[in-house]
Amino acid sequence: MNNVLIAGGTGLVGSKLVKKLKQKNYNIVFLSTRPEAKELKDRYYWHPDSGIFPDIDLSKFDVCINLCGAGIFDKNFTDERKRYLLESRVKPINLLLKNFKEQQVKLPMFISASASGYYDNICLNGINEASTHGTGFISELVQDWENAAASMKEVANLVSVVRIGIVMAENGGFLAPLKKSISAFAGAIPGDGKQVVSWIHVDDLCDAFIYIVENKLSGVFNGTAPNPETMENITKYVARQLHRPLWLPNIPVWALKIIFGSERHKLLLTSQNIAPYQLLYNGFKFRYNTASEAIAHLIP
């Protein structure tokens, strides 16, 4: 599977995944909403909101990887924002499905990002891919996202979704605000700090996508490391790597609610003990099994 079509390949995960795929000599073609894509050899302009799709032969691709979706934590959950979060995930898949159908192409493999928000917001019992979905806006959003991905079975031989947990990376993502506040001696732990974070190193996540492609795996995969960690310990690991003290008191829930809103603040209090059962069962080996190892690598 050497020819890869990627939708949403410029974000935190996508940019790293593309780099790794190119190192393995995959041929990458991007679908991009940026107008300048029209001038670039390996990019095609599309606009899912407007139904715009490029004149491209879809039969040449061995796999399509979809990473589209606006950042969930970026803005307050207004009705308009909720609608946008859904449409930014569902419309790209629907447009891909429409065009594969119109060209009567049978795609060998389709992989879509999903999120660990599929599960209950608070669930300390062990969660695996067979666990039931949660309730509330985030869980319903992810369910709709996965339903859209499942519709690609009409045009793809293999369909997989990766329920991505909290991504740790060098730049951006979960660690960025932690590093910034702790470096400025303003680090504080949200809530009581006992909430369980199901995290993953960005390198392991990208390697997992490639592993799924190269081993022709289908189904649902939890994109999380084998050993979840508490928010308190993660914050302390970051402080230790930065050689900074944590002297401020924990941020109480009422303050988080004021700062982030009645719904969005719950994301900071999410406590999920998720296991990457299917990845491990299929032989995937994680390079970073513990949060302390991952943080030590990302903040040398």
- Mean per-residue pLDDT, 199-211: 98
| This prediction's pTM | 0.94
pLDDT recorded at residue 255: 75
Output the DSSP codes for 69-118. ---TTSS---HHHHHHHHHHHHHHHHHHHHHHHHTT--EEEEEEEEEGGG
- Tell how strand 63-66 and strand 122-127 pair up: unpaired
Q: Is the pLDDT of residue 265 over 80?
A: no
pLDDT recorded at residue 187: 84
Q: Is the pLDDT of residue 133 over 80?
A: yes
Q: What tokens does 98 get? A: 């429409």
Q: Which of 121, 91, 115 is nearest to 31 (CA)?
A: 91
pLDDT recorded at residue 197: 94
- Mean per-residue pLDDT, 172-200: 88
Q: Which residues pair with 158 in a beta bridge?
A: 109
> Residue 269 — φ and ψ, nearest 5°?
-105, 5
Residues 121, 131: Cα–Cα separation, whole Å: 13
Place of tokens 């900074």: 244
**CATH code, domain carrying 144:** 3.40.50.720
Range of the domain at 213: 3-298
- Higher per-residue pLDDT: 145 or 193: 145
Q: How many domains does the chain have?
A: 1
* Lowest-confidence segment of 78-92, 148-162, 256-270 by average pLDDT: 256-270
- Mean per-residue pLDDT, 35-54: 81
The pLDDT tens digits for 64-109 are: 999 999 988 777 889 999 999 999 999 999 999 999 999 999 999 9
Residues 265, 256: Cα–Cα separation, whole Å: 6
pLDDT recorded at residue 250: 80
Helix, strand, coil percentages for the chain (3-state, nearest 5)? 40, 20, 35
Q: Is the pLDDT of residue 260 over 90?
A: no
Place of tokens 């793809």: 156
